[in-house]
């Protein structure tokens, strides 16, 4: 009876192991070229008499067992995995890689979306609980994502992939791209399709708050905040702005810098334009500011204080 019971338990455990393995898939979270990291010096240090050009790929993962096969590309050398990182040095020209995970017994064929050159690249790998990848169903496209300002943190599908500009491949489909800098955030859903390399430009179209040195206001420990945060403020401006007819017909666009007071109770007062663009945009910026809902006031030493703010209100023709 005990033997039968033990066999039953072992069978259940085995089935669970098989189920977990089959429910895993290899996911390339990010594959990108690292800017300004051409590896001519690295290549020269190899003492290659034919001066063969090489691609250097840095693999980052917090899971063990990944093995990469670049096919019939030539001699491939690699370091031992250490602290979640492994380096591969391969001849240039690779277009795809077959990735296996020995622990889960799963395989993924990942096309790079371009032919690799003598640059350094970075790949972030993970085995996720999702539907199992089919080798012939993975399609990728090389993309370029730029930002203004540059060198902002970039997230793709809520995963940090370094800083802009992003030069790398993404799987075909819809991806959520977010850039972030100094508390400012811009998000965009980007559809990726195969074809010509897209160049995607994103802007941190955010208000830049600052406390004025005016004698009418106090220096605050905590700056006033629009209820719901910066994203809510941008949504308010976007949903309530009315593009002036004169500005539209004249092709006028740009940013109007508005100055105003947030009182101790959070009300907006003393609104004025300190840098305008004309065409009725200045008046519309004042109207937008005056009709804002109450803010969360600024605080100094735990007490609400009157503060002066300046924000840009952008007018952009479609």
Give the CATH number for residue 169. Answer: 2.60.40.10
Among 98, 119, 134, identify where a domain stops. 134
As for how many domains the chain has, the answer is 3
Say whether both 289 and 309 belong to one domain: yes
Say whether both 183 and 249 belong to one domain: no
Its domain, for residue 129, covers: 24-134
C-beta of residue 257 within 8 angstroms of C-beta of residue 284: no
Nearest to 139 by CA among 110, 107, 106, 177: 110
Q: Is 266 helix (H, G, I), strand (E, B) or coil?
A: coil
Q: What is the pLDDT of residue 150?
A: 77
Reading the block at residue 98, the tokens are: 């077959």
Query: Is residue 287 scored above 90 in pLDDT?
Result: yes
104-128: average pLDDT: 85
Among 69-73, 200-204, 226-230, 289-293, the range with the most confident prediction by mean pLDDT is 289-293
Q: Is residue 13 part of a domain?
A: no
Could you tell me which residue, 82 or 11, shows the higher pLDDT?
A: 82
Q: What tens digit of pLDDT does each residue of 150-173 get?
A: 788 899 988 888 888 898 998 888
Say whether both 290 and 311 belong to one domain: yes
Q: Is residue 5 part of a domain?
A: no
Has this prediction a pTM greater than 0.85? no
Q: What is the pLDDT of residue 216?
A: 44
Q: What is the pLDDT of residue 126?
A: 81
Q: What is the pLDDT of residue 35?
A: 61
Q: Is residue 17 part of a domain?
A: no
Task: Give every strand in the sheet of 153-156, ordered side by side.
Answer: 159-163, 153-156, 173-181, 184-192
Say whether both 195 and 236 belong to one domain: no
Say whether both 92 and 151 belong to one domain: no
Say whether both 191 and 234 belong to one domain: no
Say whether both 123 and 176 belong to one domain: no
Say whether both 130 and 143 belong to one domain: no
Among 134, 150, 174, identify where a domain stops. 134
Q: What is the pLDDT of residue 12?
A: 46
Say whether both 122 and 161 belong to one domain: no
Q: Is residue 57 part of a domain?
A: yes
Q: Is residue 84 part of a domain?
A: yes
Q: What is the pLDDT of residue 307?
A: 85
Q: What is the pLDDT of residue 219?
A: 57
118-130: average pLDDT: 81
Among 102, 134, 166, identify where a domain stops. 134
Q: What tens digit of pLDDT does each residue of 168-200 get?
A: 998 888 888 999 887 778 888 888 887 777 788
Give the CATH number for residue 272. Answer: 3.30.1150.10
CA distance linking residue 86 with residue 99, whole number of Å: 14
Q: What tens digit of pLDDT does each residue of 54-72 get?
A: 899 999 988 888 889 998 8
């Amino acid at each position: 009876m005990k033997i039968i019971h033990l066999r039953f338990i072992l069978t259940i455990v085995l089935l669970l192991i098989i189920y977990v393995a089959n429910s895993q898939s290899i996911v390339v979270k990010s594959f990108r070229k690292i800017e300004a990291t051409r590896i001519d010096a690295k290549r020269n240090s190899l003492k290659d008499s034919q001066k063969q050009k090489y691609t250097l790929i840095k693999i980052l993962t917090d899971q063990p067992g990944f093995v990469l096969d670049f096919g019939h590309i030539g001699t491939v050398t690699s370091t031992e995995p250490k602290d979640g990182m492994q380096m591969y040095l391969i001849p240039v020209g690779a277009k795809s890689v077959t990735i296996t995970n020995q622990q889960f017994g799963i395989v993924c064929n990942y096309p790079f979306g371009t032919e690799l050159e003598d640059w350094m690249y970075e790949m972030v790998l993970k085995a996720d609980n999702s539907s199992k990848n089919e080798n012939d169903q993975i399609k990728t496209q090389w993309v370029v994502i730029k930002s203004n300002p540059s060198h902002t943190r970039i997230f793709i599908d809520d995963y940090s992939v370094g800083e802009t500009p992003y030069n790398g491949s993404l799987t075909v489909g819809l991806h959520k791209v977010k850039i972030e800098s100094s508390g400012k955030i811009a998000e965009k859903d980007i559809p990726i399709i195969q074809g010509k390399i897209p160049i995607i430009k994103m802007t941190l179209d955010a208000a830049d708050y600052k406390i004025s040195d005016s004698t009418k206001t106090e220096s605050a420990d905590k700056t006033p905040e629009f209820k719901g945060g910066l994203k809510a403020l941008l949504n308010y401006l976007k949903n309530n702005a009315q593009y002036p007819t004169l500005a539209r017909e004249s092709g006028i666009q740009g940013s109007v810098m508005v100055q105003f007071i947030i009182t101790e109770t959070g009300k907006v007062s003393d609104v004025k334009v300190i840098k305008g663009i004309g065409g009725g945009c200045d008046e519309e910026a004042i109207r937008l500011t005056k009709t804002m809902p109450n803010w969360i006031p600024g605080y100094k030493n735990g007490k609400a204080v009157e503060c002066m703010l300046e924000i840009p209100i952008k007018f952009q023709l479609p």
